[in-house]
Amino acid sequence: MDIGEFYQRVRRMRKSGPSTTKLSYNGTEATNDSSICELWGEYFRDLYSEQPTGCFDETFFHEISSKVQTYFQNSDKASIPELEKQITLEEIREQINTLKCGKAPGPDRITNEHILYGGDQVIKYLCKLFNMILKTEYLPVSFRHGIIIPLYKGSNKDKTKPNSYRAVTLTSVLGKLLEKIFLTRIQKLLENINNVPHGLQFGFVKEHGSIPAIYTLKESIRYYIERYSYVFSIFLDNEKAVDRIWQDGLLFKLWNAGITGKMWKIRKR
């Protein structure tokens, strides 16, 4: 979402009807600015915390957590040259060319325009910064912080309930630029080594949209119906799946997919 669209939505919401000055969560009601902010903070802390359910395999949970800790201790011995080589000016320029103007900045107030029009000198400083991050395996605090903006979903949902809002997080554009460089390296490595992601995965895959996915599903169903065979489909929708990612589970999968060494440690920290 760019900054223009963001403020357009805010203006539309202000004009669309009466606003609310009350928020209800976990049996608590907030009616003034400070208490509403505190309640929003409680809601987002709960939302982004791992919350195993009663059906969660506790033994498996501890087994994976223990393996991840072992991986961390051995990560210095599992370096991958393709991922850990010096970041080049060309890599940075390639990702800068994908940036769009008008996007909202993060807490540091640096915008895409600063990078796009900063010239070669800015790119050289970014190269030094990014390589220092790779060397020390440490992300600056400003890269890890964001401003959460709750946007009302509409459809006459209860405005006093946090679930009626969609969270938009504004993060550092410098951090996102570094993530793009890391992601490009990881994708190239996985495609060459492990054929990851699977050829039939459509979500989070470049140039793969919903229409080809629907077509593939329909043709699969048609194929088996024409042969008088059974067709079984499983549709899974996990509530808050992106918000409540099991971090150790993700790190375990990354390691076993071949993403180890410095880049894995940066993600772990």
User: Rounded to an integer, what distance in angstroms lies between the CA atom of residue 221 and that of residue 214?
Assistant: 11
Question: What pTM does this model have?
Answer: 0.81
Strand partners, 171: 146
Residue type, 107: P
User: Rounded to an integer, what distance in angstroms lies between the CA atom of residue 266 and that of residue 269?
Assistant: 5
C-alpha torsion sign, points 121, 125, 128, 131: negative
Under 8 Å between Cβ of 179 and 143: no
Q: What is the DSSP letter of 103?
A: B
pLDDT in tens, the chain (269 residues): 667 777 777 777 666 555 567 999 999 999 999 999 999 999 999 988 877 677 778 899 899 999 999 999 988 888 888 899 999 999 999 999 999 999 999 999 999 999 999 999 999 999 999 999 999 999 999 999 999 999 999 888 999 999 999 999 999 999 999 999 999 999 888 877 766 777 788 888 888 888 999 999 999 999 999 999 998 988 888 777 777 888 999 999 999 988 899 989 998 87
At residue 240, the 3 state secondary structure works out as coil
User: Rounded to an integer, what distance in angstroms lies between the CA atom of residue 186 and that of residue 135?
Assistant: 17
Q: Residue 103: how many CA atoms within 13 Å on its side-chain side? A: 22
User: Rounded to an integer, what distance in angstroms lies between the CA atom of residue 122 and that of residue 256?
Assistant: 37
Under 8 Å between Cβ of 24 and 160: yes
